[in-house]
Amino acid sequence: MASLACRGLRRRPIRSVLVLAGVAVAVFLYCTADAMRSGVERATRSASSETALIVYRQNRFCPFTSQLPQSYERAIARIPGVASVVPVKIVVSNCRASLDVVTFRGVPAKDFATSHAAETSPETMSRWLQRSDSALIGRELAERRKLKPGDRFTAAGVDAYVAGILESETPQDQSSAFVHLSFLQEQAKRGGTGGVVTQFDVRVTDPLKLDEVARAIDKHFANDESPTTTRAETAHVARAATDVIVLVQFAEVLGIAALVAVFALVANAIVLSMRNREMEISVLQTLGFRGMHIGMLVLFEAFLLGSIGGGIGAAFSYGAIALARTAMTMEGVSIAIPPSIAIALTGVAIANVLSLLAGVIPAILASRQTIVMGFRS
């Protein structure tokens, strides 16, 4: 049966190649859109154990416009329920939605060395601490810009020395360059040589009090010269990446439409193939093939179209995402698009199921064909 199905596809090579190409493109679109959805979901999914808050300037969106006095750090630390406060200066090469944005994060050296010690080697962290102009580059950003330790890195008006690569599971860290806070404040030339930051990263002692602490922080600075808006980290990412999320939702619709195209392509190919092979089916019946065998042969051809085309499309999608190392960035917030074997296998499985469904009606019609009808055709 497998041999006959393969021969049936080879008899019309141009048609078979075009159908395989169409299925491959459709599965490629689906897998790529689903990878984008996975990246957005990973970056914006809130968990009951979340303890991170982002304190931002009220009614500000781009990091260039959010300026808070660094002295707020002491006031935030005294609020009940706050475990730690880290002032952060952010400089981005582009505030609009883009696939290639460099994000510099200026952080206090001691706080960063303590919180990220497990993500770098002691030698790398030591190099970063020794040089005031050094940067630790996230893995995604390093691979996208072909950076390695010892390189000079210039972007967004900031020139830094690459001290090492940061191995972090946090999506935001993977596409960022971490530098010393005082160095970035000087390089950015916004707010003089210090005293002004973009945001505060706050950790709370109890996840159940996340909203309560956020309200307390905003209430404390409500009448200040620089009022704040405090959100959970995932909520902050979701708000900043609103346009990106809309684009991903549109891409999902496109991916679903592509899967519908798989069904149509395979069904059309099988129907045309069966019309051209009515006499061949009668010959097979004369040789002893039953209706069940004919139907299985048609389904097998449909399955081959779906599995081969789907496998090619899924493989290309996985390879393109893995090589591109793309991250969607907006307002200083990065959402990485991760390559996923599970998504690729899901795309192939869906293509197989749709192909089998597309072959059901042609298989039933072929199995019911009489010998006389085939020879008369």
Residues 219 and 249 in one domain: no
Residues 194 and 123 in one domain: yes
pLDDT at residue 48 tops 90: no
The answer to whether residue 344 sits within a structural domain is: yes
pLDDT band at 191 (very low <50, low <70, confident <90, very high): very low
Mean pLDDT (whole number) for 78-82? 92
The answer to whether residue 349 sits within a structural domain is: yes
CA 105 – CA 117 distance, rounded (Å)? 17
- The residue from 201, 226, 251 where one domain ends is 226
pLDDT band at 346 (very low <50, low <70, confident <90, very high): very high
Closest CA to 283 of 164, 185, 155, 373: 373
| Residues pairing with 178 in the sheet | 105, 136
The answer to whether residue 233 sits within a structural domain is: no
The answer to whether residue 263 sits within a structural domain is: yes
- The residue from 173, 197, 226 where one domain ends is 226
Mean pLDDT (whole number) for 96-114? 81
CA of residue 20 relative to chain centroid, distance: 26
Mean pLDDT (whole number) for 349-377? 79
pLDDT band at 192 (very low <50, low <70, confident <90, very high): very low
Give 211's contacts (C-beta < 8 A, 6+ positions apart): 232
CA 359 – CA 30 distance, rounded (Å)? 21
Range scoring the smallest mean pLDDT among 158-172, 196-210, 340-354: 158-172
Residues 114 and 259 in one domain: no
pLDDT given for residue 267 in this prediction: 82
pLDDT per position as a tens digit, 215-234: 999 999 998 888 999 998 88
Q: What percent of the chain has pLDDT over 70?
A: 91
CA 72 – CA 343 distance, rounded (Å)? 44
Angle between helices 13-44 and 2-11 (to 10 degrees): 110
Residues 256 and 372 in one domain: yes
Please provide residue 154's backbone torsions phi and psi, each rounded to the nearest 5 degrees. -125, 125
Residues 88 and 202 in one domain: yes
Give 260's contacts (C-beta < 8 A, 6+ positions apart): none
Mean pLDDT (whole number) for 304-317? 91
CA 36 – CA 46 distance, rounded (Å)? 18
CA distances from 11 to 14, 21, 277, 301, 371 (A): 9, 17, 10, 12, 22
Q: CB-side exposure of 283: number of CA atoms within 13 Å?
A: 5
pLDDT given for residue 377 in this prediction: 64
Contact 285, 292 (CB under 8 A): no
Mean pLDDT (whole number) for 78-105? 84
pLDDT given for residue 202 in this prediction: 93
Q: What percent of the chain has pLDDT over 90?
A: 21
pLDDT given for residue 336 in this prediction: 75
Strand-pair category, 52-57 with 199-204: antiparallel
Q: Which domain holds residue 183?
A: 59-226
Residues 114 and 64 in one domain: yes
The model carries a pTM of: 0.72
- The residue from 178, 199, 226 where one domain ends is 226
Residues 281 and 200 in one domain: no
Which helix (H) or strand (E) segment holds residue 134: the answer is strand 134-138
* DSSP line for 316-350: HHHHHHHHH--EEEETTEEEE----HHHHHHHHHH
SS3 213: helix
pLDDT given for residue 233 in this prediction: 82
Residues 79 and 180 in one domain: yes
pLDDT given for residue 236 in this prediction: 79
pLDDT at residue 286 tops 60: yes
pLDDT given for residue 288 in this prediction: 75
pLDDT at residue 190 tops 60: no
The answer to whether residue 201 sits within a structural domain is: yes
State the total domains in the chain.
2
Residues 217 and 260 in one domain: no
Residues 177 and 271 in one domain: no
pLDDT per position as a tens digit, 135-159: 999 888 888 888 889 898 888 788 8
Greater pLDDT, 280 or 193: 280
What is the pLDDT of the chain when averaged over all its residues? 83
Closest CA to 347 of 33, 122, 85: 33
The answer to whether residue 50 sits within a structural domain is: no
pLDDT band at 259 (very low <50, low <70, confident <90, very high): confident
pLDDT given for residue 61 in this prediction: 78
Residues 70 and 187 in one domain: yes
Residues 11 and 35 in one domain: yes
Greater pLDDT, 155 or 99: 155
The answer to whether residue 235 sits within a structural domain is: no
